[in-house]
Amino acid sequence: MRIEQHSIDQHNNRLYEDHLLRLEQLFTLRPSARRLLPLLEAFQIAIPSWALGAGGTRFGRFSIGGEPGSLEQKLEDIGVLHALNRSSGAISLHIPWDIPTDPAAIRTLAQSLDIRFDAVNSNTFQDQPGQSHSYKFGSLQHVSADVRKQAIAHNIEVMQYGKELGSTALTVWLSDGSNFPGQLNFRKAFQHVHDSLAEVYQSLPSDWKLLIEYKACEPNFYSMTVGDWGQSYLLANKLGNKAFTLVDLGHHLPNANIEQIVSVLLMEKKLGGFHFNDSKYGDDDLTVGSIHPYQLFLIFQELVEGMNAQSMNHASDLSWMIDASHNIKDPLEDLLQSVEAIQLAYAQALLVDADALESARIANDTVLAQEILQDAFRTDVRPLLAEARRNKGGSLNPLRLYRELNVREVLINERGVVSKATGL
Ligand SMILES: [Mn+2]
């Protein structure tokens, strides 16, 4: 399914008067907001290829119907999102769930939808059919050199697929770790992971990044070999200047100060990108911004401050990706909400009066510092986002138009009720 431009234009015409009123109110209150439009228009968030179908838990999975059954259909779904919000112009592929069998055709299709390829993701947390060695006891950390070799070869193969599509980053998330005390020699496991990643790094093209993701627990419940940002940072530092830490918001122990982690990683030029999601109890993979929107804003406040300090390009110098699961929502609606939440936090962070904040800090005026932050956070920037979308041909209200066009019903008619997307 493709969204026709005239559908978007008709929808925008109907909403325009009300939109303009709200936008002018914002510009009156915040004249500086006008200059944020080009930044918001440039900011794109990659959609993961595994997030277009219904997710699930180990207890069950409930199909949403009309799920994309091929990589082509996944691209078409992202094309629908991108047509509506003009902010989802990238896909993050997961191998082997989404192997491009005809890379040239996939590239052409992506180009026609204005979608580029963000980081490719390897998978050594599951065994694949026909695989010689099992990852039951780890992959890059494994006590057996043969298992490590197999996992290294897989990561190199994933980069080959990425190269054919124009991707320039490999994300490695390891489930490696141990479930019980005594199971693992921590030192040797970490050394193996380092040495294995060093081999992968040797095959990394000169213009690529290696993004090292960490996670505090799950699927291993006693130790994770790359369990926190310090361990990821250590590996990235040892490997070289093309290796970076990737922050997944759901991969921390409860109450971790993620904004502070982000600030330090940026300062050290070792922040590579993000996996956005939200959680209340653990790695819940809920819609980003649905539980902790203020935390998301604080993270973006550090990102904007840190990126500006180093004259970084907000849109292109870090990888912005969603990593969430949709257990009860329509995945496409959830992704529209996710992109909006990320853009809202970014816009609010851009609104922070950085000079005033710095002066308050120098004066040790804690109250004023909080007021400055919350003044930005409590500003309704939704009309600004809508205007940025409209400027690029997108919809003033993507979710509303998605429902008006009955996109899910159309997809179910096209693909059937029982179609199932590849992934977990
Ligand atoms: Mn992730």
> Which residues have C-beta under 5 Å from ligand 1, the single-atom ion?
248, 275, 323
Query: For residue 19, which phi and psi values (nearest 5 degrees)?
Result: -60, -45
Cα-to-centroid distance, 73 and ligand 1 (Å): 22
Task: DSSP letter for 166, please.
Answer: T
Cα-to-centroid distance, 271 and ligand 1 (Å): 14
Do 142 and 151 meet the contact criterion of CB atoms below 8 Å apart?
yes
Cα-to-centroid distance, 369 and ligand 1 (Å): 32
Task: Determine the distance from the C-alpha atom of residue 63 to the mean position of all C-alpha atoms in its chain, rounded to a whole number.
Answer: 23
Cα-to-centroid distance, 364 and ligand 1 (Å): 37
- Give a three-class secondary structure readout of 110-164: HHHCCCEECCEECCCCCCCCCCCCCCCCCCCCCCCHHHHHHHHHHHHHHHHHHHH
Residue by residue, pLDDT tens for the chain (424 residues) are 999 999 999 999 999 999 999 999 999 999 999 999 999 999 999 999 999 998 888 888 888 899 999 999 999 999 999 999 999 999 999 999 999 999 999 999 999 999 999 999 999 999 999 999 999 999 999 999 999 999 999 999 999 999 999 999 999 999 999 999 999 999 999 999 999 999 999 999 999 999 999 999 999 999 999 999 999 999 999 999 999 999 999 999 999 999 999 999 999 999 999 999 999 999 999 999 999 999 999 999 999 999 999 999 999 999 999 999 988 999 999 999 999 999 999 999 999 999 999 999 999 999 999 999 999 999 999 999 999 999 999 999 999 999 999 999 999 999 988 877 766 5
Reference 298, options 217, 338, 364, 357; nearest CA is 357
ω into residue 383 within 30 of 0, thus cis?
A: no
Q: Where would I find the H helices in 240-393?
A: 258-267, 293-309, 331-351, 354-362, 366-377, 382-391
Q: Which residues pair with 46 in a beta bridge?
A: 321
Q: How far apart are CA 121 and CA 271, in angstroms?
A: 17
Task: Determine the distance from the C-alpha atom of residue 59 to the mean position of all C-alpha atoms in its chain, rounded to a whole number.
Answer: 25
Q: How far apart are CA 125 and CA 129, in angstroms?
A: 13
Q: How far apart are CA 238 and CA 241, in angstroms?
A: 9
> Which residue is associated with the tokens 């008067």?
17
Indicate whether this model's pTM tops 0.75: yes
Cα-to-centroid distance, 321 and ligand 1 (Å): 9
Cα-to-centroid distance, 91 and ligand 1 (Å): 14
Do 90 and 117 meet the contact criterion of CB atoms below 8 Å apart?
yes
Instruction: Report the DSSP pairing between strands 223-224 and 177-178.
Output: antiparallel
Residue 94 DSSP SS3: strand
Q: How far apart are CA 243 and CA 15, in angstroms?
A: 46
Cα-to-centroid distance, 275 and ligand 1 (Å): 5
Torsion over CA: 172, 323, 345, 42 (sign): positive
